[in-house]
Amino acid sequence: MDSTAQQQATMIGGDNLELSFKDLSLDAGTVGEDNSKILKWNLPLKELYKLACSFYKEKSGKAIHLSYEDNLKLVAFTQQAAHGPLDLSKAPPLGMFDVIGKDRRIAWQQLGTITKLQAMEGFIDLLDRLCPLFKPYVEAIKKDREEKARRAEQEEIQRTEALAAERERQEELARLESEKNREELHRRQLQDALNQQTYHQFKEYAEIQFPGNPEQQAVLIRQLQNEHYHQYMQQLQAQVATNLARLKSLSDGEEDDTPTAVVCENGAAGAIEPAAANEFANANNAKENSQFEFKEQCDSDNDSGDYAVISPANMWTKPDIKLFKQEVMAGKGDGVIRVNHGDTVTVKVPTHEGGSCLFWEFATDSYDIGFGVYFEWGKPPTTEVSVHISESDEDDDTIEEDDEVICAEDLECGQVQSSQMSSAGSALGSRNPISIIIPIYRRECHQEVYAGSHTYPGEGTYLLKFDNSYSLWRPKTLYYKVFYTR
């Protein structure tokens, strides 16, 4: 039995085993300390060896059928790769009838002193020669891993891009929030500045409307201040848009010698030549930071002098129309006037020596009426308020169609026309020059009380015009109040 086993071991460990060593691409001299860098089939050798062992265990006897001698060689390579060269002094004794164990030990001993890495590569090469399905199996695993790595890389790129996009979105939101906060701060600063300037006027008006009621006075003051701020911003936007359109037309090469009507930094109406458009555009941009005070006089290209400086009026409405009419009819206001169809009523209110601002309120029964405010420059002959009724708007006490007037730019007047910016000195005859503060427009004053105020531009007479000339049949009952504040 022993001689037969030795002969079989000699057969197994003969030339075929030596040929397998010649196919090894590694030897002990080329193996360094860093074994993880050793590649075979573009895979780390140890990883490829594990795949080979797994393939051998799963497929042996199923997809692959090896001879006894080939199995001995593969087992010998695994023993050498796991434990190194065979040391008989440390090997456990074999039983007398353990033929397979003796054959395996002989095959292991035939491997000599090759290293563990060489034994791994020998196992891989031998399995590759014995089983053609092994290499495609490895290639399929490699492709699967590469695909997973590619997907992971792509997902990482997408995740990075998503994080970058989210970061940009957050930065944009933060920037928009910062701009919104700056705009809100600027709006509050501007509104506070406007409120400080109009507080005393609105307070006097509120005290007249609600005497002895501080809460109602505060509500009315707040309402008036909000209306004043919105009117100011709308007027400012209209001015900027007009000036931008004007500058665009000039930049396109259009020549126009007609003076352009603008509102200067102090809010006064004036006229400039096209060559000075840029200078006034810069002034308009600075208007938002102004205190809305009329401290300086705006230069004009005509000889209008002091008459060119006039501020826009403030207009608002009140809902308590019944109470207002009752107060006027009870004698607590200026009076009630019947305005016949086709007539125009002009209420002349001279500026008061101790006053600084004029207030007015009016309402009608059932139907609307036209309303506008003019200002006649010059010292008034009387301090009494007078009412003049005419069948048309063309008599001596009103503005004729051919008269040239000075128009302040306000929300209802729209853009100042150059024909309205003529010199006060060019008024016809000896009549005092007249400025249009609010053009005549129809007001729904039968639904709510219309009120307004205007800061004295100088010494003169206000002309409050109630126009019913457009009505062919209906007379209007007018309720009105006028008063001044210091």
Q: What is the pLDDT of residues 250-287, one digit of tens each?
A: 777 654 444 443 333 333 333 333 333 444 344 344 43
Same domain, 127 and 195: no
Task: Quote the percentage of the chain above a pLDDT of 90.
Answer: 32
Q: Is 345 inside any structural domain?
A: yes
pLDDT at site 316: 92
Domain at 448, CATH number: 2.60.120.680
Domain boundary at 242, 274, 293, which?
A: 242
Report, as an integer, the average pLDDT of 445-455.
Answer: 94
Same domain, 325 and 199: no
Helices (H), 262-391: 277-285, 321-327
Looking at residue 324, its amino acid is F
468 against 6, higher pLDDT: 468
* Domain boundaries, position 124: 37-131
What is the count of structural domains for the chain?
3
pLDDT at site 464: 96
Q: Is 237 inside any structural domain?
A: yes
Same domain, 45 and 98: yes
Q: Is the pLDDT of residue 22 over 60?
A: no
Sheet containing strand 357-364, strands side by side: 314-318, 449-455, 357-364, 476-485, 335-339
Same domain, 190 and 49: no
pLDDT at site 140: 92
pLDDT at site 87: 83
Q: Is 344 inside any structural domain?
A: yes
Q: Is the pLDDT of residue 411 over 50?
A: no
pLDDT at site 259: 41
Residue with tokens 């209110």: 349
Same domain, 359 and 469: yes
pLDDT at site 240: 86
Domain boundary at 184, 214, 242, which?
A: 242
Q: Is 123 inside any structural domain?
A: yes
CA–CA gap between residue 11 and residue 4 (Å, rounded): 11
Same domain, 114 and 202: no
Domain at 118, CATH number: 1.20.80.10
Q: Is 406 inside any structural domain?
A: no
Residues with Cβ within 8 Å of 208's Cβ and at least 6 positions away in sequence, in order, are 483
The DSSP H or E segment spanning 179 is helix 134-209
Same domain, 168 and 204: yes
Q: Is 238 inside any structural domain?
A: yes
Report, as an integer, the average pLDDT of 147-165.
Answer: 94
Q: Is the pLDDT of residue 445 over 70?
A: yes
Q: Is 2 inside any structural domain?
A: no
SS3 440: strand
357 against 419, higher pLDDT: 357
Same domain, 480 and 446: yes
Sheet containing strand 434-443, strands side by side: 386-390, 344-350, 460-467, 369-377, 434-443, 406-407
Q: Is the pLDDT of residue 332 over 90?
A: no
Burial environment of residue 243 by CB neighbours within 10 A (0 to 12, 13 to 18, 19 or more):
buried
Task: Quote the percentage of the chain above a pLDDT of 70.
Answer: 72
Same domain, 50 and 191: no
Same domain, 125 and 164: no
Report, as an integer, the average pLDDT of 1-20.
Answer: 36
CA–CA gap between residue 111 and residue 440 (Å, rounded): 117
Same domain, 195 and 110: no
Q: Is the pLDDT of residue 103 over 70?
A: yes
pLDDT at site 89: 79
Structure tokens at 52: 């080979």
Q: Is 54 inside any structural domain?
A: yes
Domain boundary at 221, 242, 263, which?
A: 242
- Of the listed ranges 395-399, 431-435, 454-458, the least confidently predicted one is 395-399
